[in-house]
Amino acid sequence: MGMYWSVGTVLLLLAITAPVALAFGFGGAAAARSHFLPLRWIGKAYISVVRGIPDIAFFLFFVIALDQAFEYIRHRIKCPDWDEPIRQGSDFVVCTAAKLPQGNAPQWVHETYGFVLAVLTFAIVFGAFAANVMYGAMQAVPKGQLETAESYGMSRRQTFRRILVPQMWVYALPGLSNLWMVLIKATPLLFLLGVEDIVYWARELGSFKSPRFTDYPHAEWRMWYFLALLVFYLCFTKLSEIVLAKIMARLTHGQATAAGEAQRRAQA
Amino acid sequence: MTCWETITAYGLRSIGIGEQLLPRSDFTLCQQFTLIGSGMIWNIYFGVFALVLGFFLATAVAMGKASKSFWLRKPSEWFIFAFRGSPLFIQFFFAYFLFLSLKGQFPFFTPLTSAAYGALFVLFLNTAAYTGEIFYGALQSIPKGDIEAADAYGLSGFTRFRRVIWPTMLRLAWPAYTNEAIFLFHATTLAFFGGFPILKQRGDALYYANYFADKTFNPFVPYPILAGYFILLTLVVIGLFGLVNTRLNRHLPQERHKKLRIKPQVIR
């Protein structure tokens, strides 16, 4: 049964990660456009650092790093009078009260904690990609629109909220839909983060015994399992393509772009 | 052990030359730099060979997808869809188990069950599909006048392709192709994390970085080292592709001669 649940895990991860990553991306893009210099540096560094390095390295890095960061913060709060160093040789030692999750916590807490870490990791990495896309989209909104808003006496904040943000989506959507595809295709990496996803089950079920020494009643089945996964992902991306094309058509409606103009002509 | 001795002992460890026993405790910075750098040999090997081989297949696939013949177009479209629509990670797993089960019947497939050939083969097909789509897009945007001019000069068939269509296609596709190359190098880190086995701890850069992070429980040293290596590799790729770009555009007037601007968008 666990195997079928794992498909749900993947879908749940997608459903949670996508909005969180979008929020991270929005924050990153807004920071990179900020007039406050340090904030702009942070935004730009976030975008370029995460993008220049293989994402899988980030997945492996953040899971440990986030875990240790949380435990360290809790450690500072809960045990202020602890005098031993945190790093003792190859060990990372915090007081027992700061352990996450607590040693006596039930199994589902451990699993949920792992899942939350995975979601955060995905959101940080894909947030950077999304920030890149949205930064470009904000730049792509015609200057005339922003200048008109200014000439109407709107403040910077008003211009941002009323003019820039509603118009940027049509420019951001091609990049974001590309990103959604990338996100779907990154979900198998979940199993590297220790979450029981669909890839995990293939390995788990296949490795009851060393495959070399067992006589399977059937032929090597993991090939077919992965073939099924391939087909699953193919269908999923195809479906997303169709849905995203619909959204794009709707967003284009009434926009000052070539596609919007073509739509207007077709209706007229 | 001095740093120089470490380099001579572990510099080629990833391809099985030098000291076999990996360090187990008291890791020095030098050891981490050397071993992770040694692992980069694999990443460069996968990336370079997949790119060079994939380039030719991609040209063929792009021509196939743009062709009028049904029997050329459909297979090319399906090839591109299958490899772009599914996660590379699953492709690795599937290919590994496919080769494993084929090996039993045809000894011909034995080398393909090793990472050195099997993973390279998958990466080759994968990059051919992605590049094929880029080239196809470029083929579609070749200026109509160029082809008409070629017709007017009496060029046809293969001559027209070699002297007009192909160079123009490359010129148009080059910025996107540079992106693809960068992401292909990033994707090479997946090779050893997908099904393909690691023999005698001869892994790629990410494998060693992961090894150190697991042993020291401190991700803040090995992963930044890995990141540094990848940023260097990316800069080299951008430099080399920039040279080719200059050559492709050498006939254009110099002041209009745009420098290759790399804006890595996500492709995978």
Residue A100: phi, psi to the nearest 5? -125, 130
Peptide bond into A101 cis (omega under 30): yes
Terminal Cα-to-Cα distance of chain A (whole angstroms) = 55
Is A139 in CB contact (< 8 Å) with chain B? no
**C-alpha closest to that of A71 among A58, A86, A83:** A86
Q: Are B62 and B135 in contact (CB under 8 A)?
A: yes
Q: Which amino acid is at A94?
A: V
Decide if B86 and A187 are in contact by the 8 Å CB cutoff. Answer: no
The closest CB to that of A53, out of B87, B94, B231, belongs to B231
DSSP state of A76: H
**Portion 169-228 of A in contact with B at CB < 8 A:** 175, 178-179, 182, 184-189, 192, 199, 202, 219-220, 222-223, 226-227
- Find chain A residues with C-beta within 8 A of B89's C-beta: 185, 188-189, 199
Nearest partner of A179 among B129, B176, B132, B268, judged by Cα: B268
Nearest Cα neighbor of B139 from B71, B203, B195, B60 is: B60
* pLDDT (0 to 100) of residue A213: 42
Buried/exposed B18-46: b ≥16 CB within 10 Å, e otherwise: eeeebbeeebeebbbbbbbbbbbbbbebb
Average of per-residue pLDDT across B132-147? 87
The pLDDT score that the predictor gives to residue B78 is 92
Number of domains in chain A: 1
Query: pLDDT > 90: what percent of chain B?
Result: 20
Calculate Rg over the CA atoms of chain B.
22
Q: How many Cα neighbours within 13 Å face the side chain of A177?
A: 19
Q: What are phi and psi of A92, to 5 degrees?
A: -110, 110
Q: Do A52 and B227 touch (CB under 8 A)?
A: yes
Mean residue pLDDT of chain B comes to: 84
Does residue A124 register a pLDDT over 80? yes
pTM: 0.81
pLDDT digits (tens, 9 = 90+) for B45-82: 999 999 999 999 999 999 999 888 899 999 999 999 99
Whole-number pLDDT of residue A97:
67
Q: Which of A66, A94, A65 is nearest to A80 (CA)?
A: A94
Distance from A68 to chain B by nearest Cα, in Å?
A: 9
The pLDDT value recorded for residue B34 is: 85
A86's CB contacts (< 8 A; 6+ apart) are A72, A75, A92, A93, A94
Q: Say which of A53, A178, A192 has its CB closest to residue B227.
A: A53
Among A137, A136, A58, CA closest to B261? A136
Q: Give, for A88, the enclosing helix (H) or strand (E).
A: strand A87-88
Distance from CA of A155 to the nearest CA of B (A): 31
Distance CA B50, CA B26 (A): 37
> Would you call B89 and A188 a contact, using CB atoms and an 8 Å cutoff?
yes
List the CATH number of the domain containing A114.
Answer: 1.10.3720.10
Confidence of residue A151 (pLDDT cuts 50, 70, 90): very high
DSSP string, B19-77: --SPP-SS--HHHHHHHHHHHHHHHHHHHHHHHHHHHHHHHHHHHHHH-S-HHHHHHHH
Q: Answer yes or no: is pLDDT of B235 > 80.
A: yes
3-state secondary structure of B7: helix
CA B100 – CA B91 distance, rounded (Å): 14
State which residues form the domain around A163. 2-198
Is A61 part of any domain? Answer: yes
Number of inter-chain CB pairs under 8 A, A vs B: 123
Angle at A77 (CA atoms; ends A72, A80), nearest 5 degrees: 95
| Residue A208: predicted pLDDT | 44
- The average pLDDT across A121-127 equals 86
Q: Residue range B202-219: average pLDDT?
A: 82
In chain B, domain spans: 3-9+26-248
Test mutation, A230, A237, A240, A242, chain B, max B CBs within 10 A = A230
**Which chain B residues are closer than 8 Å to A212 by Cβ?**
none
pLDDT of residue B268: 52
CA–CA min distance A147, chain B (Å): 27
Structural Rg of chain A based on CA atoms: 24
- Nearest residue to A33 via CA among A160, A175, A206: A160
- For residues B1 and B119, what is the distance between their CA atoms, to the nearest angstrom? 35
Most confidently predicted of A20-29, A34-43, A48-57 = A20-29
Find out whether B248 and B171 touch, Cβ atoms under 8 Å.
yes
Q: What is the DSSP letter of A96?
A: G
Residue A128, amino acid: A
Average model confidence (pLDDT) for chain A?
78
Q: What pLDDT, on the 0 to 100 scale, is given for residue A64?
A: 80
Of the pLDDT bands very low, low, confident and very high (cuts 50, 70, 90), residue A214 is very low
CA distance B75 to B91: 18
Helix (H) or strand (E) holding A92: strand A91-92
A238 touches B: beta carbon within 8 Å: yes
The predicted structure's pLDDT at residue B49: 94
CB contact under 8 Å between B87 and A132, yes or no, is no
Highest mean pLDDT among A74-78, A84-88, A253-257, B221-225: B221-225
The residue among B113 and B37 whose pLDDT is bigger is: B37
Residue B130 main-chain phi, psi, to 5 deg: -60, -45
> Which range, of A5-14, A84-93, A99-108, averages the lowest pLDDT?
A84-93
- In the CATH hierarchy, which fold is given to the domain comprising B3-9+26-248? MetI-like fold (1.10.3720)
The mean pLDDT value for B170-177 works out to: 87
Is residue A213 assigned to a domain?
Answer: no
Residue A190's pLDDT is 73
State the alpha helices, DSSP H only, in chain B: 3-10, 29-66, 70-85, 88-105, 120-140, 144-152, 157-160, 166-187, 205-216, 222-248
Residue A225 counted as domain residue:
no
